[in-house]
Amino acid sequence: MITLTICNHKGGTGKTTTSINLSAALALSGSKVLVVDLDPQGFLTRMMGQAEPEVSASSLMLFESEISAAPPILKLPTFDLIPSSPALSTALRKLTKPTDVLWAKEYIQTQIHGYDMVILDTAAAVTVYSLNALVASDLVIIPVLPEYQPVIGAEQTYQTVKMVRKSLNPGLGASKFLFTMVDGRKRNHHAYRHYMREKYQDDVMTGIVRTCTTLSVSSRDGRTVYDSNPHARGAIDYANVADEISTLIQQKDEATAREMDPERERSSTAQIGQKTT
């Protein structure tokens, strides 16, 4: 099971839209996907047409010391969801210990089973919830609108991810920028895309998400872009991004296998050498 966080410290970058439609694309490609809404404002929960849940049926349960019930998972047509509750805001006051960044990781490892992907949607801020998401994750996607303020926010998020990898989660793999709401007619979009690719190189995803009316319309009525128009630009773009993420996961799995079995790696290398001589 792979845990992936979608985050950006700056709002308005298409983060929640990405969480929804990327999750749908991965699910439609054959993965069983669980989305966890860790944003106290619950944008993703509302965008999926869900009412505010009871506290005991929300993602706040990831931060409870005593687990007395099954995970509060809603079964949706494309993927499953643990919805958010405004009670997350109140609970922030209690989550002040250094170890409070470990709740989500422990809950996912012990209570969530039967999924290929767990995708964590976070608020546009550095909170104990976003840090929990990063500590629990194998991969991070940073949606970034190629304009000045979103790029600054994305770069700050990138530095936060590096800090978490160094201090709290050495197993955290790729941290990838994903360009969203790209308008090919705007010069500044070209300029910032060039800047990011030149500076961050392989840490910028090859795929981009272009501006698409269907994305904004579907986000308001509980549907994904694949429900509204599977042939729309947004649907095609998120499908391509999902394929790229699947490749990243495969590469990470192969690298982990090599680390766990160095003898097999040396044996394979020796066999290749024998064939070439």
pLDDT in tens, 67-99: 778 899 999 999 999 999 999 999 888 898 989
Taking 80 as the threshold, does the pLDDT of residue 58 lie above it? yes
Tokens 């766990």 belong to 260
| pLDDT at site 125 | 86
141-158 pLDDT, tens digit each: 999 999 999 999 999 999
User: How many alpha carbons fall within 13 Å on the CB side of residue 217?
Assistant: 11
**All domains of the chain, ordered by start, with CATH?**
2-276 (3.40.50.300)
CB 200 within 8 A of CB 164: no
Taking 80 as the threshold, does the pLDDT of residue 211 lie above it? yes
Residue 95: Cβ within 10 Å count: 17
| pLDDT at site 277 | 46
108-120 pLDDT, tens digit each: 999 999 999 999 9
Distant-in-sequence, close-in-space partners of 175: CB < 8 Å, separation ≥ 6: 139, 140, 142, 158, 161, 162, 165, 203
Taking 60 as the threshold, does the pLDDT of residue 270 lie above it? no
The residue among 133, 17, 34 whose CA lies nearest residue 74 is: 34
pTM of the complete model: 0.88
| Cα distances (Å, whole numbers) of residue 181 to 3, 143, 149, 237 | 25, 10, 14, 11
